[in-house]
Structure 1
């Protein structure tokens, strides 16, 4: 497989591995059999390690930023799920991992439909942390896009000037 194809595959494989980990790592005792969890977790960790090694070798930080976004989203989703499972008075509407991921993504993208809400102080504190991450992330993402556009403009003007 050519290097470009491997790089594109790793850009997709990283976020997929993170989501696989999110859905397979045990957060509640009754979920999935132990052997199935172990196998799925090992495969997902290997895929994530491969993706991280390949993504670092690209000429832009965008793949790493996307992977970071997915990793943070999965982490907050896991936290929301565990908090909700252990204290149902913190969130109204988080029952499953998909509920937690949905809530995290609607919060991170500032969509916020209002069907799942933080009602407890811990839940609101955690959601506030998501807001702070979003501000930092959006700044980094905009900076990287600006750098990439500037580099492409410079390369285009250099190619036209020759």
Structure 2
């Protein structure tokens, strides 16, 4: 049973990586600058890919989100989450997929993809990322995508002081 879960997880990660590369290639020529114009986007992308720099990731993330290029952030969040285990990247990956799923008239993701989203959210929460903990707590309270557990939901939300 464990091997089946691992295979499903690996297939989902590979699928999401392919999707991210597809969107990356589609938007490769997008010209975006950072809010404070300190570093060009192309330099930030290179730094994130070559050095896995969290500061460069945050600048890149902010620039792309401000310009509504969510697919670009999805690629870099997956990269940073898997390589550096950066807690913000885990949350970003979850949130951007949730946003993409929610923005469609029809739900576009299957159960395995939603499980992968929740897995990344749980990893962010385990690293004490407050947004991840709050979002996961809400999901447990609602019983959405996870078994309903109001005690755990309240515990997660209260642990961040809300």
Asked if these proteins are the same fold (TM beyond 0.5), I'd say no
TM-score of the superposition, structure 2-length normalised?
Answer: 0.29
TM-score of the superposition, structure 1-length normalised?
Answer: 0.29
1 or 2 for the larger relative contact order (CA 8 Å, sep ≥6)? 1
